[in-house]
Structures are given as C-alpha cells and as structure tokens.
Amino acid sequence: MKLRKFVLAVAVVAAGASVLTTGNAFAQAKEQFIPVLSYRTGPYAPNGVPWANGYVDYLKLVNARGGINGVKLSFEECETGYDTARSVECYERLKGKGASFVQPLSTGATFAITEKAPADKISVVTVGYGRSESADGSVFKWNFPIAGTYWVAADAIMQAIAKKEGGFDSLKGKKISLVYHDSPFGKEPIPLLQERAAMHGFALTLLPVTAPGVEQKATWLQVRQNKPDYVVLWGWGVMNSTAIKEAQATGYPREKMYGVWWAGAEPDVKDVADGAKGYNAVTMQHGAEPQSKLVKDVMAMVHSKGQGTGPKDEVGQVLYMRGAMSAMLGVEGIRAAQDRFGKGKVMSGEQVRWGLENLNLTQSKLDALGFAGVMRPISTSCMDHMGASWARIHTWDGKAWKFTSDWLQGDEQIIKPLVKATAAKYAADKKLTPRTPADCQS
C-alpha cells in the first residue's frame, strides 16, 4: 500500500513538472527548427505514414548534405490523428520552439491554423491541399499552397477527360459523377467542376460519402443507375480503396475513374491489385519515382546509415515523394531567406515567409536537388503563392503507377478569376485589406 502511494505521488509530481515545463524549450542556437505534424495512427494512417516518412527522410538528407549553408535542421514529430483539435494542440506546443513554417497535412487543420498563423508569424505551407483560394498572396499573406491546389487538380482531370473525348466540345451531353469525401476537403473541387459543367454542357452529379467512407454500397448503386461516362474520385484514406473495391463489385470500369492526387497512391490500390487496373489519378508533377536521383541520394546518405524513417521499399512511392517534395519546398524557402537575410544564420518566421514568397526554383536547381524529370520549375511571387500548376495523369497497371499523359497545366482563364473572387470574399468577411504592391517589396 505504501509503495503504491509512493508511486502515485511520484507520478503526480512528474506529471505536474512535465506539464509545467512544456512549451518552454528553446531551439539550439544554430539549428533551424521544423515542426512535423503527421498522423501515423487512425483511419488515415496508411496514407499519412509514407508522407511523414518522406518528409522526415528529406530533412535528414538535408542534414546529411551539410544543412542549409551550414545551418542544421532540428525537427520534432507530433501525432495529430487527422483531428483538428489535436493538430491545433500540436501546433501550439511546437511553435514556441522556433518554428518558421508548418505543414498540417489536413484541410481541417489548415483552416484552423490559418486563423492563428499570422499572429504567430508562422507560414502555413500546404503543398497540394488546403484552401484553393489561398493561392492569392494579396489576401493570404501567410498561406503557401505551393505547386498546386485542388482547383488545379480538378482542372487537370477535366483536361485529361476532354482529351480522351476529343476536345471540350465533345463533352456536351456527357455525364460526370463526383464521388467525394463529405468534408471541406471533398467539397473543394465542386465550384470549379460546376463552372466547367456550365461552360461545356455536361451533367455533373455530386455523390457525397460520409467520412471515413467505409460503406459505399449505396453510392455505387447510384453510380450504376446513373451510368456516368466518368467518375471523379475525391477521397482520402480508406475511402479510396473502398471506392475502387465497390467499383469492381458493381462492375464500373476502372478506366473511367479519375482520382485526385490524394486518391492516387499505392495504399489505395495495393490490396485491390488487379481489380484496380486501369484506374487513373492526377499527379501533382511527381508520381512514383523509384528511378529519381533523390531516391538514390536518400538510400545512399540516409537509409544506408540506418537512419531511414520507414521501410526501404517505401522510398520512391507516390506519397513518399510528396512528403519529400513538401519538405524540399519548405527548405528552399529557408534557403531563399538566407540568400537575402544572411547565409548561415537561423531564419525567423518573417524572413522565411519572404523566402517562400520569392522562391525561384529553376530546372537546374531542381535537378541538383535530385528532382530531375520529377518536377518542373516553381516560382512564387507576392500575388501568386502557388508558383506552378503543372500536373500529369498516371495509371495503375496492376503492379505500379505509370504516367499516361503529357504535362498538363491548370487553365488560368478559369482558375484565376475563381481564386480572386473567393479570396476577395474571404477578405470582405474578415475585414482585411489586401496587400499593396509596396507591402510586397518588404
């Protein structure tokens, strides 16, 4: 009894001590701190794990290459479980350690952190997700949806479908269904798809799937009844593999399905294998790149030393590459900041924001980093926080993802007005004044 009381007392004291001292740690003087919000548990873990592994492996690679002009990176992972409240708590805990940017990997968390980040002077980098309208840097000073947003993805899918049909005019009278995750993430493409439907005269049916998307029989029965010419799949996590399995079970041809870049990775199709043959997905520039120089570097400098974060056969997979690319864009933002504000120094949040806003990744720079043939040049500016809108289509052939299209680009004529209008509405709601050109120079 006495021992139990003693242990209990020690536990309580330790609890109090540890809770009181959280959030007071300082980053090392010469290290740039990077918070890593990831989810390795919960219903979205199968997709979150490879992304996190890619992200952390890239940070380790940067350190192995000598850091950014000699400044090493320190990082800490925090488990969010794709839950907004936990993501916010992780953000609050890690921001005090000197974070200059954060990548939440969850649209819900992005919305919540966008409200807090400007006051904390931390950039929210959302490579390929987040708010599509945050590409407008004049309203969203601290948001960076670099390399692509959901509207670019939806537009690329539409262009690929149009190409298959023989031009946008041939889409008149056709039927396209959107099977989407019933959440802000899933609803993102709807404005753009509705705009395209109005322009070209095809019928768009919206079929929401309640999160997490485990039961889709009724949805695919409706698909079977509607007999759409194409199905656009906008899911994440288990919803993707379930959708493909239900498509197989109801006999809908997988060749007619196009998934967003978060629905086109190995965890979604691996256990369906041949049943998913012919399933297409749009990619945000990169796909599965096992032959790239980046993968070779990671294997040589990180995995061979036993420092790899995940299993070796995961290196080069689609989501791994996305995590690595996201990390690379953040690191390059820091490097750009160092080029302006002092090489070899630790950068503050404001300086890194400038760096992210003035990214100029030419093809030669990307090649040197190991992304030859994987990525195209990215160049952000004050008004444009996206920097590039390239995409491709890849198709699952039963064993691997293979590219089946040329480079596509989001149609600026349609996307830009939509971005401006939605961003203006946000600014009006929040009573923000858009930035002036003078402010852009700072």
Partner 1 sequence: MFYRENGQFKTTYRADQQIFPIAQDRLALFIMLAIAFIAVPMVASDYMFRAILIPFLIFSLAAVGVNILVGYCGQISLGSGAFMAVGAYAAYNFFVRIEGMPLLIALVMGGVCAMLFGILFGLPSLRVKGLYLAVATLAAQFFADWMFLRIQWFTNYSPSGSVSVSNLQVFGFSLESPLGKYMFCLALLAVIALLAKNLVRGAVGREWMAIRDMDVAAAVIGIRPMYAKLSAFAVSSFIVGIAGALWAFIYLGAWEPAAFSVDQSFRLLFMVIIGGMGSIMGSFFGAAFIVVLPIFLNQFLPAVASLFGIEISTAGISHAELMIFGGLIVWFLIVEPHGLAKLWSIAKQKLRLWPFPH
Partner 2 sequence: MAFFLETLLGGLMAGMLYSLVALGFVLIFKASGVFNFAQGAMVLFAALAMARFSEWVPLYLGIDSLFAANAIAFVGAGMVMFCVAWVIERLVLRHLVNQEGTTLLMATLGITYFMEGLGQTIFGSSIYKIDIGMPKDPVMLFESTFEGGIMINKEDFYAAIIAAALVALLSIFFQKTATGRALRAVADDHQAAQSIGIPLNRIWVIVWCVAGVVALVAGMIWGSKLGVQFSLTTVALRALPVVILGGLTSVPGAIVGGLIIGVGEKLSEVFLGPFVGGGIEIWFAYVLALGFLLIRPQGLFGEKIIDRV
Check binding of 15 to partner 2 (CB under 8 A): no
Q: What is d(CA 167, CA 177) in angstroms, rounded to the nearest whole number?
A: 19
What is the residue type of 233? L
CA distance 235 to 238: 8
Q: Does 24 bind partner 1 (CB under 8 A)?
A: yes
Among positions 34-73, residues that touch partner 1 (CB under 8 A) are 38, 40-41, 45, 49
By CB under 8 A, the count of residues binding partner 2 is 37
Task: Give the Cα separation of 145 and 15 in Å (integer).
Answer: 39
- We find the least distance from the C-beta atom of residue 37 to partner 2, in angstroms, to be 17
Q: How many helices (H) and strands (E) does the chain have?
A: 16, 15
> How near is the Cβ of 223 to partner 1 at its closest, in Å?
19
Q: Which one, 79 or 357, has the nearer CB to partner 1?
A: 79
Q: Which residues inside 396-415 make contact with partner 1, applying CB under 8 A?
A: none
Of 403, 391, 337, 344, the closest CA to residue 150 belongs to 391
Do residues 170 and 162 lie in contact, with contact meaning Cβ atoms separated by under 8 Å? yes
Shorter beta-carbon distance to partner 1: residue 15 or 198: 15
Do the strands 257-259 and 360-361 form a parallel or antiparallel pair, or are they unpaired? unpaired
Binding to partner 1 by residue 19, rule CB under 8 A? yes
67 binds partner 2 (CB under 8 A): no
Q: Angle, nearest 10°, between helix axes 150-165 and 412-430?
A: 150
Closest CA to 398 of 278, 268, 253: 278
State the nearest-atom distance from the C-beta of 298 to partner 2, in Å: 21
Contacts of 213 (CB under 8 A, 6+ apart): 181, 235, 237, 238, 239, 240, 242, 243
Task: Please report, in angstroms and rounded to a whole number, the separation of the first and last CA atoms in the chain.
Answer: 66
Query: Which one of partner 2, partner 1, none interacts with residue 255, CB within 5 to 8 A by kind?
Result: none
Residue 191 contacts partner 1 per CB under 8 A:
yes
What are the DSSP calls for 21-70, one per residue? TTT-----TTEEEEEEEE--SSTTHHHHHHHHHHHHHHHHHHHHTTTBTT
Given 159, 183, 285, 405, the residue binding partner 1 (CB under 8 A): 183
Please report whether residue 20 would count as binding partner 1 according to CB under 8 A.
yes
78 near partner 1 (CB under 8 A): yes
For the CB of residue 60, give the shortest distance to partner 1 in the complex, in Å. 14
> Going residue by residue from 193 to 232, which x/- string records binding to partner 2, judged by CB under 8 A?
-------------xxxxx-xxxx-xxx-xx-xx-------
Shortest distance in whole angstroms from residue 71 CB to partner 1: 25
CA–CA gap between residue 212 and residue 304 (Å, rounded) = 37
Question: Should residue 37 be labelled a site residue for partner 2 when binding is judged by CB under 8 A?
Answer: no
Which of 210, 304, 362, 363 is in the footprint of partner 1 by CB under 8 A? 210
Q: Choose the contact partner of 114 out of partner 2, partner 1, none; CB within 5 to 8 A by kind.
A: partner 1
28, two tokens: 């090392």
Pick 309 or 351: Cβ nearer partner 2 = 309
| Integer CA distances (angstroms), 208 to 98, 177, 230, 354, in order | 40, 10, 16, 39
Q: Would you say 129 or 390 has its CB closer to partner 1?
A: 129
User: How far is Cα 413 from Cα 204, in angstroms, rounded to an integer?
Assistant: 21
Quick check: 45 binds partner 2 (CB under 8 A)? yes
Q: How far is the CB of 153 from partner 2 (least distance, A)?
A: 22
Q: Does 255 bind partner 1 (CB under 8 A)?
A: no
Tokens of 404: 């089946």
Pairing of strands 72-79, 101-102: unpaired
Residue 111 interacts with, from partner 1, partner 2, none (CB under 5-8 Å by kind): partner 1
DSSP 3-state assignment of 174? coil
- What pairing do the DSSP bridges indicate for beta strands 101-102 and 123-125? parallel
In the set 38, 126, 248, 395, which binds partner 2 (CB under 8 A)? 248
Q: How far is the CB of 197 from partner 2 (least distance, A)?
A: 17
List residues near partner 1 by CB under 8 A.
Answer: 14-15, 18-20, 22-24, 38, 40-41, 45, 49, 77-79, 81, 83-85, 88-89, 92-93, 96, 107-108, 111-112, 114-116, 119, 131, 182-185, 187-188, 190-191, 208, 210-211, 422, 429-431
List residues near partner 2 by CB under 8 A.
Answer: 40-43, 45-46, 49, 182, 206-210, 212-215, 217-219, 221-222, 224-225, 237-238, 241-242, 245, 248-251, 267, 270-271, 275
